[in-house]
Structure 1
Amino acid sequence: MKYPILEKGATIGITAPSSGVEAELHDLIKSACDRMEQKGYSIICGDTVWTQEKAKSAPAKIRAAEFTDMMQNEQIQAIIPPWGGELLIEILEYIDFEQMKNKWVLGYSDLSVLLMAITLKTGIATAHGTNIIDLRGEVTDETTAMWETVLSTKPGEEVRQYSSNKFQKNWQHDNPSPCVFHLTEETEWKTTTNKDVKIEGRLLGGCIDVIRHLIGTPYGDVADFRKKYTNGEPILWYLENCELTTADLRRSLVQMRLAGWFEGCSGIMFGRSPANQPVDNYTAEDIYEELSAELQVPIIYDIDCGHVPPQITFINGAFAEVEVENGKGMVLQRFI
Structure 2
Amino acid sequence: MGKLRPLKKGSCIGIAAPAGPISRPRFLRGVRNLKRAGFSVSYSRGIFSQNGYLAGDDDRRSRELGKLLNDPRTDAILFARGGYGTQRLLPFLKKTRPKIVVGFSDLTVLLATLWKRWGIPTLYGPMVATQLTKKRVVTRLKKALSDPRWFQMHPFSARKTFRGGRATGRLLGGCLTLFVSLIGTPYDVDTTGSILFLEDVDEPPYVVDRMMTQLEQAGKLKGVRGIILGTFRLKKKLFPSEIEKVFRERLRNFKGPVLWGTRFGHCSNPEMVPFGGVGRIQGKKLIIEKGIFDVQI
TM-score, normalised relative to structure 1: 0.77
Alpha-carbon distance in 1 for matches of 2:245, 2:176: 17
Matched, 1:291 2:284: no
Alpha-carbon distance in 1 for matches of 2:162, 2:209: 16
Secondary structure of the corresponding residue to residue 241 of structure 1: strand
Matched, 1:161 2:176: no
Hey, what does 2:181 align to over in structure 1? 213
Hey, what does 1:332 align to over in structure 2? 288
Matches within 5 A, 1:3-14: 3-8=3-8, 9-14=10-15
Over residues 80-99 of structure 1, what are the superposed CA-to-partner deviations in whole Å (9 max), with x where a residue is unaligned?
01111112211111111xx2
Alpha-carbon distance in 1 for matches of 2:152, 2:244: 30
CA contact (8 A) 1:150 1:159 kept: no
Hey, what does 2:221 align to over in structure 1? 262
Deviation at 1:219, TM superposition (A): 0.6
Deviation at 1:317, TM superposition (A): 0.9
Secondary structure of the corresponding residue to residue 142 of structure 2: helix
Deviation at 1:275, TM superposition (A): 2.9
Structure 1 ranges of 4+ moved more than 4 A: none
Over residues 8-38 of structure 1, what are the superposed CA-to-partner deviations in whole Å (9 max), with x where a residue is unaligned?
12100011011231xxx31222222122112
Matches within 5 A, 1:145-160: 145-154=139-148, 159-160=152-153
Hey, what does 1:230 align to over in structure 2? none
CA contact (8 A) 1:146 1:312 kept: no
| CA 1:2–1:18: 2 relative to 1, 3 Å | farther
Alpha-carbon distance in 2 for matches of 1:151, 1:26: 25
The residue type equivalent to 2:249 in the other structure is E
Alpha-carbon distance in 2 for matches of 1:20, 1:103: 25
Secondary structure of the corresponding residue to residue 295 of structure 1: coil
Count of paired positions: 286
Hey, what does 1:191 align to over in structure 2? 161
Over residues 293-336 of structure 1, what are the superposed CA-to-partner deviations in whole Å (9 max), with x where a residue is unaligned?
222122111111111332111111111123344xxx45324124
Deviation at 1:150, TM superposition (A): 2.9
Pairing partner for 1:300 from 247, 255, 259: 259
Alpha-carbon distance in 2 for matches of 1:19, 1:6: 29
Hey, what does 2:78 align to over in structure 1? 80
Alpha-carbon distance in 2 for matches of 1:288, 1:77: 38
Alpha-carbon distance in 1 for matches of 2:250, 2:269: 26
What are the ranges of 5 or more consecutive residues in structure 2 without an aligned counterpart?
none
Alpha-carbon distance in 2 for matches of 1:203, 1:84: 21
CA contact (8 A) 2:201 2:231 kept: no
CA contact (8 A) 1:241 1:275 kept: no
Identity of aligned residues (%): 23
Hey, what does 2:128 align to over in structure 1? 132
Secondary structure of the corresponding residue to residue 261 of structure 2: strand
Alpha-carbon distance in 1 for matches of 2:53, 2:266: 19
Deviation at 1:285, TM superposition (A): 2.5
CA contact (8 A) 1:120 1:219 kept: yes
